[in-house]
Structure 1
């Protein structure tokens, strides 16, 4: 209920449902790094995702989100910046962040989770 002219009025259900979707800004933390064909190692790499702001912030610089695809409980973001292309795939249980360097080819994959994304 909200108070407008004439007293209390019901809030339409559509307004109440706005907060039910996935979050648009959230942190991701990665505990495993896999560099090309080398053995995976531990890491403490983290990023901050802002879907509405179309950006991903890292310790190495900011990336621009160029596309977002949502399929059920899978969200995939495509980003560019810093001489590479980036792919972030996440579900409520896990996240994968892959860097594809424009020099090389060279790929680095990070394994972790994104808190509060769902």
Structure 2
């Protein structure tokens, strides 16, 4: 007697699975997509400061970092010289370690993907620039390295300096 009862319950439970494709010729509603900015045009300046509180009453998971960076030394491959290169780094973090960023200097603004772990920022360009790749590392004490790798001609430019929270 238990077997027919179990079979009936199993059949009733499976009915929604069989009914999923009830209208195979019916058109699906159009998918909604957000229009994303072109590469290099991340709107980080338009993001308001984070002021929410975590559900447990603690600090929010997401953070925003705005840093001013100054690089005293510039090295083209193995040749180094003094430099006054400066720029601004903005990072918006989700609190789980993943972040989006923006580097702005007097000549350009580029979008970066970043990882923020224990106060260390490791950011890189998305590779949308043909023949260039950027890597920016900022340690918790502010020491920083910013490197551009080029393919034509093949070379690397490394800036050595520091970043601090912008005032």
- Normalised by the length of structure 2, the TM-score is 0.52
SS in 1 for 2:165: coil
Aligned residues: 101
SS in 2 for 1:32: strand
1:116 Cα deviation after fit: 1.1
- Normalised by the length of structure 1, the TM-score is 0.72
- Cα deviation 1:26-46 (Å, max 9, x = unaligned): 1111001111122x1111101
With a CA cutoff of 8 Å and minimum separation of 6, indicate the structure with the bigger relative contact order: 1
- Aligned twin of 2:120: 74
The answer to whether the aligner puts 1:102 opposite 2:151 as a matched pair is: yes
Unaligned runs of 5+ in 2: 1-55, 93-99
Higher fraction of helix? 2
User: Segments of 4+ in structure 1 off by > 6 A?
Assistant: none
Query: Which is higher, the Rg of structure 1 or of structure 2?
Result: 2
Alignment of 1:2-81 (within 5 A): 13-14=57-58, 17-18=59-60, 23-38=64-79, 40-52=80-92, 54-65=101-112, 67-79=113-125, 80=127, 81=129
Q: CA RMSD in A?
A: 2.5
